[in-house]
């Protein structure tokens, strides 16, 4: 299907120990062999072998790089085509020289973003939901997000969708027979069969959708705002979260705010912390996340960690923040419990339930477990499922699942209204097609192009 051979740098560009250039397509081995000098002729190399080589300029014969060259012949490769991977020294110069050499040869062109994965899809090695999960895998910010994506790469979701589609296609076949041989007068039975199967498949999809919220959280992190009056312990909390959890600090492209967001995990729960710059950068204690600045972070947050100083009586600013946080999922952190208590906890009852109050001494590193527990109670109905759970987290999949439920409910309604089954069949077929779009069976070219264009180069 793909006649041309493509190449791209597969590792992140910059200084590194090694870098990898990946080549895929019918001429991969032959084209690479022209530049690679190794003890064994690459063209004769068996699949899945690694060769110590020099990269030489075709004209001058001059060696420009030392490399390890891996040959993987299709279909046992990532793209299901012949693949050659050249591992060179890291750094921008070495890889660029090798890549330019390859491209100058004329029979290799630069790959588009995601084109390797797209070929794996077009060659039938993976389906669309698996390809999308590969992207999630690359972008995952926490161990758990990684596990969820890996599960999907391995085909957990595809299998579920496959089973559901199989039931619908059996139903469609049954309807077809009934349309073709109406004298068999089993219309009534067919009606019952349509209703039962549609409801059952629809219930299964509902169950899958229930995981969507948690899947999204695991993938993207809970948008979390840490708020509180100056000096209550916000930056101490931030530091405690970052240090104990190997924070990944990311500059998320596409956000208009000029703040840097940070990811931390609390017992495996990924939090995406909002406006940490406001907590960290201001040295003026009075300025540090005043009530005004908190409003901004609060408006975006799914989770509010409201820090109070338990060693002082509740103040007007505390009350204002408690009120502002009222319509959010809020955990009130009573900090500084190592000091004598001065805050009357009965006052809090007007704002938050007891279950949302966590007593901590951040300075003495006490209470972090309780905080994690409180967050998982709020977002994961108590427990985060183990790694073998299938989560739906992709918005495209969620939309398609919802539409297929609608189509199935249309089928049930139409059957109940006594509409002829050849018309009802249209709804069932639609559900089957919508589910097929998730795995890419019934997805159009433009959708496929759009999905793969979001990938990084070399993947």
Q: Name the residues that contact ligand GDP, by CB under 6 A.
A: 228, 230-236, 279, 285, 288, 335-336, 338-339, 361-363
**Minimum distance of ligand GDP from residue 355's CB (angstroms):** 21
Token pair in block for residue 309: 């100083």
Length of the chain: 459
Q: Which is nearer to ligand GDP, 67 or 305 (CB)?
A: 305
- Helix, strand or coil for residue 327? helix
CB of 324 to ligand GDP, least distance (A): 16
Q: What is the DSSP letter of 348?
A: G
Q: Which is nearer to ligand GDP, 190 or 235 (CB)?
A: 235
Cβ at position 333, least distance to ligand GDP in Å: 10
Q: Which residue, 294 or 415, has its beta carbon nearer to ligand GDP? A: 294
Least separation, in Å, of the C-beta of 115 and ligand GDP?
Answer: 47
Of 233 and 458, CB closest to ligand GDP: 233
Tell the residue number behind the tokens 């790469």, with chain if given: 153
Question: Which CB atom, from 25 or from 233, has the smaller least distance to ligand GDP?
Answer: 233
Nearest CB to ligand GDP, comparing residues 117 and 235: 235
C-beta atoms surrounding 163 within 10 Å: 11
Residue 255 CB, shortest distance to ligand GDP, in Å, is: 23
- Which CB atom, from 278 or from 440, has the smaller least distance to ligand GDP? 278
Residue 171: both structure tokens together: 């139903």
Least gap, CB of 341 to ligand GDP (angstroms): 12
Distance between CA atoms of residues 155 and 129, nearest Å? 8
Contact indicator for 259, 276 with CB cutoff of 8 Å: yes
Question: Which CA distances in Å does 166 have to 198, 224, 336, 404?
Answer: 12, 41, 59, 14
List, as one string, the DSSP characters of 42-74. GGGPPSSEEEEEEEE-TTT--EEEEEEEEEE-T
Least separation in angstroms between CB 353 and ligand GDP: 23
CA distance 37 to 55: 6
Nearer to ligand GDP, 157 or 232 (CB): 232
Exposure class string for 303-325: b at 16+ Cβ within 10 A, else e: bbbbbbbbbbebeeebeebbebb
State the minimum distance, in angstroms, from the CB of residue 29 to ligand GDP: 59
Measure the CA–CA gap between 225 and 291, rounded to whole angstroms: 13
Cα–Cα distances (Å) from 188 to 67, 175, 194, 420, 421, in that order, read 70, 11, 10, 11, 10
Residue 286 beta carbon to ligand GDP: minimum distance, rounded to whole angstroms: 10
Nearest distance in Å: CB 239, ligand GDP:
8
Three-class DSSP category at 264: strand
Q: Would you state the structure tokens that stand for residue 199, as one six-digit string?
A: 């409801």
Least distance in Å: CB of 294 to ligand GDP? 11
Upstream peptide bond of 65 is cis (omega within 30 degrees of 0)? no
Pick 315 or 453: Cβ nearer ligand GDP: 315
30/26 Cα distance (integer angstroms): 8
Distance from C-alpha of 421 to C-alpha of 180, rounded to nearest angstrom: 11
Spatial distance between the Cα atoms of 413 and 423, rounded to a whole number of angstroms: 12
Distance CA 288, CA 25 (A): 57
Distance (Å, rounded) from C-alpha 238 to C-alpha 226? 8
CA 298 from centroid of its chain's CA atoms: 25
How far apart, in Å, are the Cα atoms of 156 and each of 78, 119, 129, 179, 451?
A: 19, 21, 10, 35, 20
Cα–Cα distances (Å) from 170 to 157, 188, 198, 420, in that order, read 20, 17, 12, 19
**183 vs 316 by CB, closer to ligand GDP:** 316
The smaller minimum CB distance to ligand GDP, of residues 235 and 393, is found at 235
Give the residue with the Cβ less far from ligand GDP, 123 or 282.
282
CB of 356 to ligand GDP, least distance (A): 19
């Amino acid at each position: 299907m793909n006649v041309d051979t493509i190449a791209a740098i597969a590792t992140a560009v910059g200084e590194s120990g090694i870098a990898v250039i990946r080549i895929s397509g019918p001429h991969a081995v032959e084209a690479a062999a022209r530049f690679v000098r190794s003890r064994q002729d690459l063209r004769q190399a068996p699949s899945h072998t690694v060769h110590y080589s020099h990269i030489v300029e075709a004209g001058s014969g001059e060696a420009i790089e030392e490399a390890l060259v891996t040959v993987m012949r299709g279909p046992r490769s990532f793209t299901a085509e012949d693949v050659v991977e050249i591992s060179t020294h890291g750094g921008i110069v070495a890889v660029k020289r090798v890549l330019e050499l390859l491209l100058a040869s004329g029979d290799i062109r630069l790959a588009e973003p995601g084109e390797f994965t797209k070929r794996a899809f077009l060659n039938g090695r993976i389906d669309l939901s698996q390809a999308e999960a590969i992207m999630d895998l690359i972008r995952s910010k926490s161990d758990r997000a990684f596990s969820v994506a890996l599960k999907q790469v391995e085909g957990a979701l595809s299998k579920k969708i496959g089973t559901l589609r199989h039931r619908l296609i059996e139903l469609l076949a049954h309807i077809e027979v009934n349309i073709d041989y109406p004298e068999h007068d089993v219309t009534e039975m067919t009606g019952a069969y349509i209703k039962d199967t549609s409801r059952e498949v629809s219930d299964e999809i509902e169950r899958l959708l229930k995981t969507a919220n948690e899947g999204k959280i695991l993938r993207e992190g809970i948008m979390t705002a840490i708020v509180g009056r100056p000096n209550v312990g916000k930056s101490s909390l931030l530091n405690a979260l970052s240090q104990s959890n190997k924070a990944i600090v990311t500059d998320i492209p596409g956000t208009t705010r000029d703040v840097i967001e940070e990811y931390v995990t609390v017992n495996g729960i990924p939090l995406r912390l909002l406006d940490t710059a406001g907590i960290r950068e201001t040295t003026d204690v009075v300025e540090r996340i005043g009530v005004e600045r908190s409003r901004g972070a609060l408006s975006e947050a799914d989770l509010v960690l409201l820090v109070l100083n338990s060693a002082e009586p509740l103040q007007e600013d505390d009350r204002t923040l408690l009120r502002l946080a009222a319509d959010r999922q809020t955990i009130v952190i009573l900090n500084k419990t190592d000091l004598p208590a001065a805050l009357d906890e009965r006052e809090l009852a007007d704002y938050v339930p007891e279950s949302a109050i966590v007593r901590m001494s951040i300075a003495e590193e006490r209470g972090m477990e309780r905080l994690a527990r409180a967050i998982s109670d709020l977002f994961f109905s108590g427990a985060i499922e183990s790694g073998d759970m299938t989560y739906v987290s992709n918005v495209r999949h969620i939309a398609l699942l919802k539409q297929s439920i609608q189509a199935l409910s249309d089928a049930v309604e139409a059957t109940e209204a006594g509409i002829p089954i050849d018309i009802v069949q249209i709804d069932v077929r639609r559900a089957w097609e919508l589910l097929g779009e998730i795995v890419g069976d019934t997805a159009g070219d433009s959708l496929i192009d759009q999905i793969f264009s979001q990938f990084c180069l070399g993947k």
